[in-house]
Structure 1
Amino acid sequence: MAPVLVLVESNTTGTGRDFALAARSLGLRPVLLTKGERHYPYVAELDLDVVRADTADPAAVVAACAALPGVRGVTSSSEYFIETAARAARELGLPGPDPDAIAVCRDKMAARKRLRHLGPDFAGCVTPDEAAAAAARLGAVVVKPARGSGSIGVRACASSDEAREWTQRLLADGATEVVVEQEIVGPEFSVEVLAGEVVCVTAKHLGPAPFFVEYGHDVPAAAPDAIAEAAKTALAACGLGDGTAHVELRWAHGRPWLIEINPRLAGGLIPRLVRHALGRDLVTEVVAAAAGMPVDRRPGTHTHASIRFLVPGAGTVTEVSGVDEARVMPGVLEAVCTAAVGQDLETTGSFTDRRGYVVALGPTAATAAARADAAHARIRIAVAPAAVPASR
C-alpha cells in the first residue's frame, strides 16, 4: 500500500485540491483529517480518503495520525491548521517546520514585537477604548485581529472613532486582541519563500478602501532587492529562516515595510502562477518535503503570469456572461466564474468576496497584466441589490 500523507483540514480556495493531487503524483496516498469534509467539494471529486477527528485538539490529531498505518508525513494547506500539523509531525518524528516558529508568525503581536525595526509603529489592544487611543497616537491606522488570515477582519481606519467601532466589532466576532498599526501607503508585494529560498516576488493589486481584498497578482514582479532581503531577515528573526512562507510588505519612503508573515504557501492561486511563469511546482515541493522525499527545485521556464479576481457586489445575481469568450482570448489559460444566476451574494471585505478569476500569460509583465485585465473586463456578473423589507 502507498505511504500516507495526512492533510489536516484544507484551504478552501483551490490549494487543498492541489495538495491532494501532488501527493498522488508522488506516489503517496493523501488522507484528509477533518471534522467534516462538507466544506471541501474536491473531496468527492477526487474520491479522497477521509478520517474524522477533532482537528481543534492537537492531541486528537496526533492520535488519529498514529492510528494510520504507513504515515510518511503530516501537513496542511490551511494556515489555521499548519501549526497543528507541524506539532503532530514533530511528535511522530516526521519531517516538518518548527511549530514554535509557526506559532510566532501566526501571532501578529508576537511577530510585531520581534520585528519592530522592519514594520510600522503599532499597539496591541484588548478594548475598543485602547484601540481609539492607539489611533489617536498613530494617525491613520489598520486594525486587524491578532490571529487571522485571508484579509478577514482587516480594515483601514481614518479616525479614533472608526478604530473604536471596528475593534468593537472584531471583539464581538470572537477576537481576543487586535493589532492597531500605522497605515503604510505604497505598492504592496509578497515574497514567496520555500525552504528558506526566495522563489519570487509577487506584485499585488488591492481593491477599494477601507478593506484589503486582493483583486489580482502578477508573477514575477520587478521589485527593489530590499523587499526580498527584508523578508529573509524577518523569517530568520522569527525562527523560520529555513521554512516556507508568504511574506507581505509595502514599499514606501524608500524602504520596505513588513506587513505580516504567513508561515505557509501563498493563497490566491499564487503557487499556480509561479508554476505557469517559472516552472516551479511549489505545492509538489512542499508535499515532497513534508514526506521527506527529494525535492527538485530547478526552474523550468521564465515568462510572466497574472491573475485577476471577479469581485461583484452584494445582492442577487441576475446575469453571468462573457466567461466562454474570456477563455479564448489571447494568452488566457483559465477563466472561472463561481457565481450563478439567482445566487444571493454577501460581501465581507475579505477573500471570500471573490467569485472567480482569470489567469493569463505573457512574455512581459505588462503583456500578461493587460491580457488578464482584458479577459476580466469581458466577464460580467450583474447583481441586483437585495430588497429592503418594507417597514410596518
Structure 2
Amino acid sequence: MSGRLLLLVESNTTGTGRLFARRAVELGVVPVLLCADPDRYPYAAEDGLRTVVTDTADPDRLAATAERLAADTPVAGVLTSSEYYVPAAAALAARLGLPGPSADAVRACRDKAEQRRTLAAAGVGVPTFAVVSTPAAARSAAAHRMPVVVKPSQGSGSLGVRLCADLDEVEAHTRTLLAAGVNERGVAVPGRVLVEEYLTGAEYSVEVFGTEAVVTVAKHVGPLPSFVEVGHDLPAALPAEVERELGRTAVRAVTALGLGWGAAHVELRLDGASAKVIEVNPRLAGGMIPELVRRACGADLVRAQVLAALGRPAHPEHTGRGRASIRFLTTDRDGVLAPDLTGALARARAVPGVAEAVLYRSPGEPVGPAADFRGRLGHVIAVADRAAAAADAAELAVAELAGAITPTATDREEALT
C-alpha cells in the first residue's frame, strides 16, 4: 500500500459507502472517512476504517482538516458516496488540485429547480413543472394539472416526494416541506418546492460514466402516494430503439448540466415514445445498483469512480452477459420483526439464484409502512442468465424474508374483519 490517502467526505450509511473504502484499499491507497458523527457509520468500526471527525458542513473547516492530513501523508483523491456531500467533495478536490467534477455544475445539479430549468432550456425532455415558495403558490400551480407530484427542491431517496390527488393535499404537503429548514442530515435546505406533472409511463434509470451510458435499469416503485423504490432489474429488457432513446436522453442531460466526470445516475420515465428526465444525480446510484451492475455485467462502477478520483484511467467495461435483480423488503402495515431472524434469512438464501439476502433491522424491532428509502427493511439480490429468472428468484426470496414480520394485534384483527 502506498500510504497515500483517499478522503471520503461523509458516506452512505450502507451499501456503496463501505464498498468505496474497500476498493480504495484494493487499489493501494488508504481510505479516510471525514465525518461529523462517526456513529452514523457502524461499518467504519467493523472494517477498521480510519475516521477523522470534522465539520463537513463548513468548507473552510473541511479544507483545514484535509490540509492537516496532507501535511503528513499525500492526499491522492477526494470522493463521497452521499448525495448530500457531492458539492462539498467536489469543492474540496478542486481546492486541493485533485480530479473531480465541476463543483459549480454539481451544486446547480443538486438543486432540482435549477436542474429542471437547465434541461428544459437545452431541449431535454422533462415533466412540466413550477417552482414555488408558498402553499398558496403550489395550489395555484397545481390547479389545472391534477394529480401532481410535490417534492423538495433538494433531496434524495424519495424523501418528501408525494403524489397529491387534490388541491388541499398539495397545499398541506407543501406546507410540511417548507416547514423543514434542514434535511435528515441536518444540512440547510432552500425554501422552494417543485410542483410537477405526474408521468405514468414505466420508470428507468440509466447509469452514466463520463458521457457514456453503461446500462439501463428497470425500476419498481411501491404503492402511491409515496415513490419508494422497491426493486431494480438490469439490464432492463427493452426493445433496442427504446433503450437507445433512454441512453441518448440521459447522456444529453448529463452534458447539458456540465457534468461528464465520473458517475451520474439519471432517472427517467417514458412518455409515449419519448423519454423524460425525472432527475439527474451527480453520483453513483444508490439502491445497490452498482453491485447489480458488477454481478450482471462485470463492470465495477465503484472501482471506476475511485480510479477517476485518483486520476487513473477509468473505463467500466462489460465483461459478462448475466441478469441481476434486487428486491427490497417493505411492509404495508405496522408490525414487529421476529425475535429470531435466522430462519427467514436461511430460507431466502436457499432460493436458487439468490446471491445475497440481508435484513437491516434487529430482531424484535417495530416496523411500519415505508414513506421513503428509510422504511426499507432488507434486500435480496438474485443473479441468472435470463431476466425473468433473476426477477422471479428475487421475488420469491423477498417473500421468504417477509415471513419474519409479524403484524401488530390491531392489524391482525383488521385483516380478519
Q: Give TM class, smaller chain.
A: over 0.9
Q: 336, 353, 367: which one pairs with 2:358?
A: 336
Question: Normalised by the size of structure 2, how large is the TM-score?
Answer: 0.90
Looking at structure 1, the residues matched to 43 and 262 of structure 2 have their Cα atoms a distance apart, in angstroms, of: 28
Cα distance change, pair 253–295 in 1 and its aligned pair in 2 (3 A): closer
Letter in 1 for 2:78: V
Q: Map 1:123-134 to 2 at 5 A.
A: 123-134=130-141
Indicate how the Cα distance of structure 1 residues 122 and 169 shifts in structure 2: closer, same or farther if over 3 A, else same.
same
**Counterpart among 231, 245, 249 of residue 226 in structure 1:** 245
Matches of 1:145 and 1:127, distance apart in 2? 12
**Structure 1 match to 2:214:** 199
Q: Which amino acid aligns with 1:82?
A: V
Quote how far apart the aligned CAs of 1:282 are.
0.6
Alignment of 1:64 onto 2:65 = yes
Q: Equivalent residue for 2:128? A: 121
Give the alignment partner of residue 384 of structure 1, picking from 400, 407, 411.
Answer: 407
Look up the match of 1:309. 328
Distance 2:50 2:223 in 1: 41
Give 1:167 deviation, angstroms.
Answer: 0.5
Q: How does 1:316-335 map to 2 (within 5 A)?
A: 316-319=335-338, 320=341, 321-335=343-357
Give, in whole Å, the separation in 2 of the partners of 1:339 and 1:386: 20
Distance 1:296 1:173 in 2: 40
What SS class does the counterpart of residue 267 from structure 1 fall into?
A: coil
Q: TM-score, normalised by structure 1?
A: 0.95
* Mapped partners of 1:168, 1:340: distance in 2: 34
Q: Match of 1:179?
A: 194
AA aligned opposite 1:201: T
Amino acid at match of 2:253: A
Structure 2 unaligned spans of 5+: 182-188, 412-417
Whether 1:135 and 2:142 are equivalent positions in the alignment is yes
Question: 2:144 aligns to what SS in structure 1?
Answer: helix
Deviation at 1:191, TM superposition (A): 0.4
Corresponding residue number in structure 1 for 2:186? none
1:81 aligned onto 2:104: no
What CA RMSD, in Å, does the superposition of the two structures yield over aligned residues? 1.6
Q: Secondary structure at the match of 2:320?
A: coil
> Structure 1 residues 329, 52: closer, same or farther in 2, change over 3 A?
same
For the Cα contact (< 8 Å) 1:13–1:268, is it kept in 2?
no
Structure 1 residue runs without a partner (length 5+): none
Residue 138 of structure 1: SS of its match in structure 2? Answer: coil
Q: Name the counterpart of 1:100.
A: 104
**1:282-297 equivalences in 2 (<5 Å):** 282-295=301-314, 297=316
The size of the alignment, in residue pairs, is 388
Question: SS in structure 1 opposite 2:324?
Answer: strand
Separation in 1, partners of 2:46, 2:143: 52
Q: Which moved more, 1:172-181 or 1:73-82?
A: 172-181
| Offset of residue 186 of structure 1 | 1.1
1:291-310 CA-to-partner distances (Å, cap 9, x unmatched) read 11233533221100000000
Secondary structure of the 2:283 match is: coil
Query: How far apart are residue 137 of structure 1 and its match?
Result: 2.7
Deviation by residue 1:209-261 (Cα, 9 ceiling, x = unmatched): 00100000001113411111111111111111344210000012221111001
1:168-196 Cα shifts (integer Å, max 9, x gaps): 11112225111010100011000001122
Amino acid at match of 1:294: P
Partner-residue secondary structure (3-state), 1:115: helix
Does residue 1:366 correspond to 2:388, yes or no?
A: yes
**1:247 aligned partner, one-letter code:** V
Which residue does the alignment assign to 1:23?
Answer: 24
For residue 91 of structure 1, report the CA deviation from its aligned partner: 0.8
Aligned to 2:263: 244
**Kept after mapping to 2: 8 A contact 1:313/1:345:** no
2:162 aligned partner, one-letter code: R
The offset of 1:384, in angstroms, is 3.4
Q: Which runs of 4+ in 1 moved over 3 A?
A: 313-316, 383-388
Identity %: 47
